[in-house]
Each structure stands twice: as structure tokens, then as C-alpha cells.
Amino acid sequence: MEPTTVLVTGGTGYVASWLVKDLLGEGHDVRITVRDKDKKDKYQHLLDIEKQTPGTLTVYEADLLKEGSFDEAANGCDYVFHTASPFYISGIKDAENELVKPAKEGTRNVLSAVNKSDSVKRVVLTSSVVSIFGDNRDMAEKKEFTEADWNTTSSAEHQPYSFSKTVAEKEAWEIAQAQNRWDLVTINPGFILRHPSQSGQIQRVFQPSVPF
């Protein structure tokens, strides 16, 4: 594959970091968005990787809730990987503003930037299996699920993270289907596991106090 210009939103995340590493290794011009460029320690590991690869890395500051925030980063890109989305599994006080609104409006703002850039060919959205089904009521009568299935049981009050992923993916498909210049691919992993030392949240997942 010839080198291209690729944007990875939420570039300091776990999935995004591995994605950036592979893209740099293939020689692509990689752009990432972060919430605060001054916090260089959050993305220093990616700058270190850049030095060892044929690719180039450019860091942009962007806010999921700020309209136009991703325009500069997306302009001139061939591909966009949208991985940025809030992730909380406990301690949520205001699900609508902490999870749902940033997920949905962030997706809308990223894809708005894509629509303004006439060079983007494809957008890849990191979604989740929880946008396909929610609790046991969604799974009671089915053994197989397809892209036609949606989570119908989660809400901002019940399984708010699952709900945030569902509304974000629905927003993405609605925007994608309203145009015909770029195509959308969604990835819906069931679970992403990393080394426990990298995230105390993973350890909390397996504690009885956290509902599944």
C-alpha cells in the first residue's frame, strides 16, 4: 500500500496507539488528535515510535464537543479512524453529559470535518458489540446477530456506556448514508484487554461491584 495521510482521533488511547504504531511502520503520514497538546507525556510514546519508523506523526488538539475542532486535522486526509469516545464503567454522575453527548456529538463533529475535506475516501469507526445488543432481553431469542441488529434495551439510565456507543454508531451511519463520496466501516469488538498495569479500570471490571 502506498503511503497515505491518515487521521486517528483519540490518538493516545490503547487501540489508537497500536493503530498509530502500525501505520507509522508502514510509512504513512499519521495525524492524531489529543485533548491537550501541552500534556506531551500522554503521547510521548508515539513520538518515540515515530523516530524508529518511516512514517511521520503530527499532533493536533481537538475537543469532541467543539464544532469545527477536527476540521484542520481531517483536511487533506485519505482515511480517518475515529476511536475517540469517553469510556467509564463506574463512578458516573451524569451519563448524558459524561458519556452520551460526547460520544454522539463527537462522532458528528468528526464526520462533519470529513464532509468538509474532499480527499477522505473511508472512515473507520471503533464501535462496540454493545451497540448490537444490550442486556439479556436483546439476546433472549437470538443466537446470531448481523449489522441489521441494534441494542434496544440500553439508555442513559440503564447501561449508559452501551447506550453511548449505540447512539454514536447510529449517528455515524445516518451521516454516512446522506452522502456518497466516502464509505463507513464500523468495528464492533466484544472486549479489548490490555495489561492490568495499564488500566486500573480492567481490574475493576472483574470485581463483583461492577455490573455486567
Q: Nearest-CA neighbor of 189 among 154, 165, 167, 212? A: 165
- C-alpha span between 89 and 192 (Å, rounded): 14
Catalytic option among 37, 93, 165, 170: 165
CA gap 190, 60 in Å, rounded:
30
User: Side-chain half-sphere of 97: how many Cα atoms within 13 Å?
Assistant: 2
Is 104 an annotated catalytic residue? no
Instruction: Write the DSSP symbol of residue 98.
Output: I
Determine the Cα–Cα distance for residues 79 and 57; give it in Å rounded to an integer.
15
Element housing 119 (H / E):
none
Q: Which residues are catalytic?
A: 165
